Structure formats: structure tokens, C-alpha cells
Copies of this chain bind each other. A is one copy, B any other.
């Protein structure tokens, strides 16, 4: 039997690997499109298939509230519900319980919260998070963790960390389905000492993979970069490393340079709906008047099916008049951009040219070299 994770190659500190699930392989580094509520926003399953990501993400919190995990389970699970045949990673609901819901109150046993939709009362526990993710039938399951907002003092972080570890143990002890792999989530904010303590605790629980949680939640970008540079080398080599909720293209590039393997972020899908386009030469907003007569594709360096046939002028028009079609086309391109970023990074690692790729991507994206 193939191992769950196989490290295939390194280039500087960047890693190329292969994750094995019963629903298919996931080459890393890899970006995972976010399919919050059973759909990648603005796209159909057919559109997503055409983008060909090896894995997508689903949100436990949202699917628990609507349509409910029991319903999805009774209909054959999340894969069948959205007719997506490749792997799905579900988050634990932790981040949303803390960021989206009202009146959350944390106890040792779990979190009391009110739905952001109808105000109904709920109590999320590590066991309920596992139950939901088992019902959804995802291939990679995330531990239920506490996500304190940054900045936070060390005392707050330590107490939160203690709970996160106790909850991780309860998640680990919950019986998942045979095809499901459980990831632990390292917390500890920007404090390297706490991060290493968290890592040590989770290592002892022997999860299939490790996530770095609690970043990109209010701290400065340089602080996140520093923490990643300091912390990542301590992570076990033989397990996939997932940086949750990150990020902008350069954040992803920098994290790959630190040896991170997996990413997810709503930026490509969310920005698309607001006119934001990612291009090799940096982000633009298609609603800008200067694109009104621009016959070039969204990104002249892109070969996705949107760039192959539609002009900036057309997208500018569709946005101005408010056609849904605009969000669909823009989302498709943006996701292609993120998937292409991790795919090209992987190719450069496999041929040991990652530093070269890094420099060239950085230079083109920012219009300057990274030393400036």
C-alpha cells in the first residue's frame, strides 16, 4: 500500500509531494478551491472539473447549518450531493464558529454559539465536528480547534492552546470512516515557543497531516512570514503541511518556499465577484474604466478557457451591467491562476529550479525583484 504522504523532491526548502486518498492523488504544493456550501461560488461542478483541481474544500459550519449533515448523509454524502468525485477536505467549523457566529462562549467541552443565519442556538464540540465531517464523508478531516484572534497575550494563547490540544485528542479518539484521514492543527499565534509546544503535543497524537492554523487573522504580513520561516523547519518531514486560509499569491509563494504543501483561500473566488482579477503582472480590477476598450484577455499570460476567448472590455461591460456571467468567468480565471501557481511551483521543485521560479514569479507579479 502506498503511504498517505510521500515526499518526492525538495528544492531549497520547498517540497513536492504526493498525498494518496481512496478518491485520488493530490500532488503538492497544491491550492484547494473553496466550496463552502456544496458549490465553489459562481461555478458548477462541471466548471470545477474543467479547472481540474485534485481536491476541493467544504465548510463544516455552513453545511451543518444548511442543509444539515444528516440530510447530506441521507442523500449519500457531500461527494454525491454535489457530484464531485475527487477528494474533499472539510474544515472543522472552528474558524467559522469564532469568526461568523454570534455570542460564542467557550467551555472546556466545546463552544456555544448562535447561527449567523437565524440566531438559533448550537453547541459545537470536537465530537460533533467529527460526526458532521464523518456524515459529509470528506477525505481529509480537520480537528476542531480554538482560533483566538491576534494579537492575543501569551496567557490567553496558552489557555486556548491547552483546550485545542485536549480537543485534538478527543477528535483523534472519534471513530471516522476508513477512507478518512485526520489532520491536527497547530496553534500558538506568533509565539514560536507556543507553536513548538503545540507541535510537540500534536506529534504525540500521530495525525495524518498537520495544519498551521491561526495565521492570516489580523497580524502583519511580515509577522506571518517570519513565524512560518522559523516554525516550518521543525515540522515532521513525512507529513503534509497545510497553511489554513492563506492567502495572496505571494503569501502562498513564500509559504511554499518555507516548505508548506497545502493551501486554501477564498480570495480568488471572493475577489472575482468584486471585479478583482489576478494576473501574472499583479492584481487588477476589471471594473476600472481603462478596461472599457481593452481587447486583451484578463491575463495575457494565461491560457485558461476564459482568457482564450473573452476580452477585458467584455468583462468590464458584464460587471457594469451586473450580469452573473461576469462572476462565473472571473472566478474561473482566478482559480486557474491559483492552481497554476502551485502547479508551476511543483514543477520547478521537481526539476530543482524553485528559487529561479520564485524570483521570476515575484519579479513579474510585483514589477520588481524581491531584493529591492
Q: Interface residues, chain A, CB within 8 Å of chain B?
A: 37-46, 62, 66-67, 71, 74-76, 81-83, 292-293, 295, 305, 309-311, 313-314, 316-318, 320-321, 323-325, 327-329
> Residue of B at shortest CB range from A42?
B324
Contacts A39-B325, A323-B39, A329-B44 given; does A67 touch B292 at CB 8 Å:
yes
Chain B contacts for A83, CB-based, 8 A: 309-310, 314
Question: When the two chains form their complex, are residues A325 and B44 in contact, meaning their CB atoms are under 8 A apart?
Answer: yes
Structural contact, A75 and B313, CB atoms closer than 8 A: yes
**A44-B329, A305-B46, A329-B44 known; A321 vs B74 contact (CB < 8 Å):** no
Contact B295 A75 (CB under 8 A): yes
Decide: A325 and B41 in contact? CB cutoff 8 A: yes
Which of B42, B71, B311, B318 contacts A39 (CB under 8 A)?
A: B318
Which residues of chain B are near A71, meaning CB under 8 Å?
A: 292-293, 313
The smallest C-beta distance from A253 to any residue of chain B, in angstroms, reads 30
Would you give the shortest CB distance from A74 to chain B, in whole angstroms?
A: 7
How far, in whole Å, are A102 and B170 apart by their CA atoms in the complex? Answer: 65
Kindly list 17 other residue pairs between chains A and B, CB separation below 8 angstroms, not including A45-B309, A67-B292.
Answer: A37-B317, A37-B318, A37-B323, A39-B323, A39-B325, A41-B325, A42-B325, A45-B310, A62-B321, A66-B317, A66-B321, A67-B313, A75-B295, A75-B311, A76-B295, A81-B311, A324-B328
Residue from B67, B292, B313, B323 within 8 A of A320 (CB atoms): B67
A67, A74, A293, A309: which has the most chain B beta carbons within 10 Å?
Answer: A67
Residues of B within 8 A of A37 (CB): 317-318, 321, 323
Contacting residues, chain B, for A295 (C-beta < 8 A): 75-76
How distant is A46 from chain B, measured CB to nearest CB, in Å? 7
Among the listed B39, B66, B328, which residue makes an inter-chain contact with A44, where contact means beta carbons less than 8 Å apart?
A: B328
- Closest B residue to A273 using CB positions: B324
Chain B residues in 8 Å Cβ range of A323: 37-39, 41
12 inter-chain pairs at a CB distance below 8 angstroms, sorted by A residue, are A38-B318, A39-B318, A41-B323, A42-B324, A43-B325, A66-B317, A67-B317, A71-B313, A74-B293, A75-B313, A76-B295, A324-B324
Q: Provide the residues of chain B in CB contact with A320, threshold 8 Å.
A: 66-67
* Residue ID in chain B nearest A81 by CB atoms: B314
Chain B residue at minimal CB-CB distance from A43: B325
CB neighbours of A45 from chain B (8 A)? 309-310
Among the listed B42, B313, B321, which residue makes an inter-chain contact with A81, where contact means beta carbons less than 8 Å apart?
B313
